[in-house]
């Protein structure tokens, strides 16, 4: 069991996760087993209640962990399914210690950050890492953040506990380039080492983030001032796609450095297949536009899984996907609609103007009733004008409301989330959820199965675009049906009382939970490409295993 710790200094946003994930990919490509941990010293138990504006989207692991987006980044680089325990937060650590204190574990002792909290951090790392050759552990934030201190103290102790050939420390720091004088400044890198040393940690490698290349002479100077050999000073220059970073590190012999320090024999990374795929990102043969209606416009990371899933589908189709973002708020503001959702059919015309030039659309999930009447009108427009689309999560619910209103004559159809007074709650909480008083527990998380209808579009897409190996199948077959599994993060469901009327009026519920009456996929037969899923398929997409729904949407847009 070898541990590689990735820390950072000076500023956030340097790409510690790209560094960690790329090293993960390199080690895996050399035939070693690899596991990843993110240490998040914030006080929440997990990222479930955090703002997407600040932290990017919330990712769901296959065992229902609501985690930091970095966990998904690790998954798509290493092609491993991680779990809740791969995200260690302050809350998880303190909870374990406090629970033990209450049952008398520490009788007659003073419970302290050192050694009790630090020991717990070490135990959680060791427990998570125990079955793997290498585990890469990213430490959130920058070295001197107050909340990181116990984590840094714990990882410092691990070198002594486990012996030096089992622990490797890295720091990611920025190289400053002064564009007005065309000078590079290495002081921040030097001070990163000083800061780490203040925690009694000596880095085994420095990764410097830069826009320009560093001259050998300056590298020598850095080596002297930081007391580290030049081979251990690794460049991380901006590249055209993050998927190039594993090869970039490989070309600087990073693996060799790690093997030497950790006393492992020299295994070469085989990145042939990975690089072939990366090559398709940089040399696409065709190009298409896909429109994405989005809400959290200030921060691209809110839709990270969506945009990355399109890159995976782009590679598969050898076709560059230009995402054209439509700002949902702007549609709302331009039409003077407030939160009261006072929208009527008279507004349909202005909506048409905004939507008239779009063709292939994806709309990601969301929460709460903002902009909801506009969403319903948008769905109506796209459905009636035969514009192909893929709806995710919330939008399946919106599509059902629209269908119920305009095709089934249920004029006040709504969701409990948007209007609890509506008579026809076609989207509702399940009865057992209504008994739950703590809001978080009403969330339906985890991987759930769906049984797909024979001859449906969903079945076609999953069958035709299956990239998983027999060891990790994308679907199983039960009788005549495919059973697929996708990750979920939502509260509400299509009310099963309305399934019959919706189906009678032509809505196809093309995927249902095998053991419950829950709609997982809906589609419409006479539409060019109309598919909505209650799940979040984007969480499972990877460069080597692009998701069938995304691949299918891009493919269909090419066949138009
Ligand atoms: N707000 C909806 C629900 O909770 C959909 C959530 C989502 O899109 N992830 O059911």
Q: What is the mean pLDDT of residues 282-294?
A: 89
Distance 210 CA to ligand 1 centre (A): 39
Q: What is the mean pLDDT of residues 272-286?
A: 95
CATH number at residue 45: 3.40.50.300
Last residue of a domain, one of 204, 236, 271: 271
How far apart (Å, rounded) are the C-alpha atoms in residues 328 and 442? Answer: 27
Assess whether 261 and 356 both reside in one domain.
no
- Give all strands (DSSP E) within 453-514, no chain letters: 475-478, 481-490, 493-494, 507-512
Assess whether 339 and 252 both reside in one domain.
no
Last residue of a domain, one of 212, 241, 271: 271
Q: How many domains does the chain have?
A: 2
Predicted confidence (pLDDT) at residue 536 exceeds the cutoff of 60: yes
Summarised one tens digit per residue, pLDDT across range 168-184 is 999 999 999 998 988 99
Ligand 1 pocket by Cβ (under 6 Å): 365-367, 393-394, 417, 489-492
Predicted confidence (pLDDT) at residue 340 exceeds the cutoff of 50: no
Q: What is the mean pLDDT of residues 192-207?
A: 96
Summarised one tens digit per residue, pLDDT across range 480-491 is 899 999 999 999
State which ligand 1 atom lies nearest to the alpha carbon of 393: 8
391 found inside a domain: yes
Distance 174 CA to ligand 1 centre (A): 39
- The residue contributing the CA closest to ligand 1 atom 1 is 367
State which ligand 1 atom lies nearest to the alpha carbon of 392: 8
Predicted confidence (pLDDT) at residue 371 exceeds the cutoff of 90: no
Predicted confidence (pLDDT) at residue 121 exceeds the cutoff of 60: yes
277 found inside a domain: no
Active site residue 488: no
Predicted confidence (pLDDT) at residue 54 exceeds the cutoff of 70: yes
How far apart (Å, rounded) are the C-alpha atoms in residues 550 and 389? Answer: 10
Active site residue 536: yes
Active site residue 503: no
Last residue of a domain, one of 221, 241, 271: 271
**Which of 428, 491, 536, 537 maximizes ligand 1 atoms within 8 Å of its Cβ, making it the mutation to test the pocket?**
491
DSSP 122-141: HHHHHHHHTTSSEEEEEEPS
Assess whether 259 and 288 both reside in one domain.
no
532 found inside a domain: yes
Assess whether 53 and 135 both reside in one domain.
yes
21 found inside a domain: yes
Specify the pTM.
Answer: 0.91
Assess whether 189 and 51 both reside in one domain.
yes
Assess whether 213 and 346 both reside in one domain.
no
- The residue contributing the CA closest to ligand 1 atom 5 is 394
Calculate the average pLDDT of the chain.
90
Distance 224 CA to ligand 1 centre (A): 54
How high is the pLDDT of residue 331?
64
Q: Worst-scoring range by mean pLDDT, 50-64, 184-198, 346-360?
A: 346-360
State which ligand 1 atom lies nearest to the alpha carbon of 367: 1
Assess whether 115 and 177 both reside in one domain.
yes
Assess whether 340 and 247 both reside in one domain.
no
Residue keyed to tokens 């693996």: 255
CATH number at residue 371: 3.40.50.880
At residue 295 the predicted structure's pLDDT band, cuts being 50, 70 and 90, is low
How far apart (Å, rounded) are the C-alpha atoms in residues 220 and 237? Answer: 18
- The residue contributing the CA closest to ligand 1 atom 8 is 365
Distance 146 CA to ligand 1 centre (A): 35
Find, among 209, 101, 195, 99, the residue nearest to 149 by Cα.
195
278 found inside a domain: no
470 found inside a domain: yes
Assess whether 256 and 336 both reside in one domain.
no
How far apart (Å, rounded) are the C-alpha atoms in residues 210 and 197? Answer: 23
Domain that holds residue 477: 284-559
Assess whether 161 and 264 both reside in one domain.
yes
Catalytic residue among 393, 449, 486, 499: 393
Assess whether 291 and 216 both reside in one domain.
no
Predicted confidence (pLDDT) at residue 105 exceeds the cutoff of 70: yes
Assess whether 330 and 479 both reside in one domain.
yes
């Amino acid at each position: 069991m070898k541990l590689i710790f990735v820390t950072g200094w000076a500023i956030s946003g340097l790409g510690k996760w790209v560094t960690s994930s790329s090293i993960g990919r390199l080690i895996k490509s050399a035939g070693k087993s690899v596991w990843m941990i993110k240490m998040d010293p914030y006080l929440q138990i997990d990222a479930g209640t955090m703002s997407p504006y600040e932290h990017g989207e919330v990712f769901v692991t296959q065992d229902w962990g609501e985690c930091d987006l970095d966990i998904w980044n690790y998954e798509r680089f290493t092609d491993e399914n991680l779990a809740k325990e791969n995200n260690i937060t302050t809350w998880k650590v303190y909870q374990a210690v406090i629970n033990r204190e209450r049952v008398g574990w520490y009788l007659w002792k003073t419970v302290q950050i050192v050694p009790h909290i630090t020991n717990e951090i070490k135990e959680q790392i060791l427990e998570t890492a125990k079955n793997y050759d290498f585990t890469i552990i990213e430490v959130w934030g920058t070295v001197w953040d107050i909340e990181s201190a116990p984590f840094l103290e714990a990882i410092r102790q691990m070198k002594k506990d486990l012996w030096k050939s089992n622990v490797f420390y890295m720091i990611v720091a920025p190289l400053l380039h002064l564009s007005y004088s065309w000078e590079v400044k290495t002081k921040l890198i030097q001070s990163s080492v000083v800061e780490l040393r203040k925690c009694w940690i000596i880095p085994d490698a420095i990764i410097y983030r830069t826009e320009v290349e560093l001259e050998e002479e300056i590298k020598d100077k850095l080596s002297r001032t930081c007391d580290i050999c030049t081979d251990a000073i690794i460049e991380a220059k901006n590249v055209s796609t993050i998927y190039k970073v594993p090869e970039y590190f490989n070309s600087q012999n990073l693996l060799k450095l790690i093997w030497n320090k950790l006393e492992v024999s020299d295994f070469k990374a085989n990145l042939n297949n990975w690089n072939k795929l990366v090559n398709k990102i940089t040399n696409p043969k065709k190009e298409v536009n896909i429109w994405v209606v989005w809400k959290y416009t200030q921060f691209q990371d809110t839709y990270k899984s969506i945009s990355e899933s399109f890159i995976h589908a782009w590679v598969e189709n050898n076709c560059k996907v230009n995402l054209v973002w439509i700002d949902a708020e702007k549609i709302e503001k331009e039409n003077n609609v407030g939160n009261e959702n006072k929208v009527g059919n008279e507004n349909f015309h202005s909506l048409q103007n905004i939507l008239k030039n779009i063709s292939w659309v994806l709309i990601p999930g969301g929460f709460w009733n903002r902009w909801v009447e506009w969403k319903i009108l948008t769905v109506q427009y796209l459905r009636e004008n035969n514009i192909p689309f893929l709806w995710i999560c919330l939008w399946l619910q919106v599509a059902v409301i629209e269908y119920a209103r305009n095709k089934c004559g249920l004029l006040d159809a709504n969701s409990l989330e948007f209007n609890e007074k509506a008579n026809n709650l076609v989207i509702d909480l399940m009865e057992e959820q209504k008994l739950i008083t703590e809001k978080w527990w009403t969330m339906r998380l985890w991987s759930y199965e769906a049984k797909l209808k024979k001859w449906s579009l969903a079945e076609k897409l999953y069958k035709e675009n299956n990239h998983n190996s027999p060891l990790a199948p994308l679907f199983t077959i039960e009788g005549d049906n495919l059973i697929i599994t996708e990750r979920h993060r939502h509260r509400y469901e299509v009310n099963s009382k309305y399934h019959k009327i919706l189906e009678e009026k032509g809505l196809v519920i093309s995927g249902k939970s095998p053991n419950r009456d829950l709609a997982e996929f809906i589609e419409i037969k006479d539409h060019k490409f109309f598919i909505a899923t209650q799940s979040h398929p984007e969480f499972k997409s990877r460069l080597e295993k692009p998701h069938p729904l995304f691949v299918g949407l891009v493919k269909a847009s090419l066949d138009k």
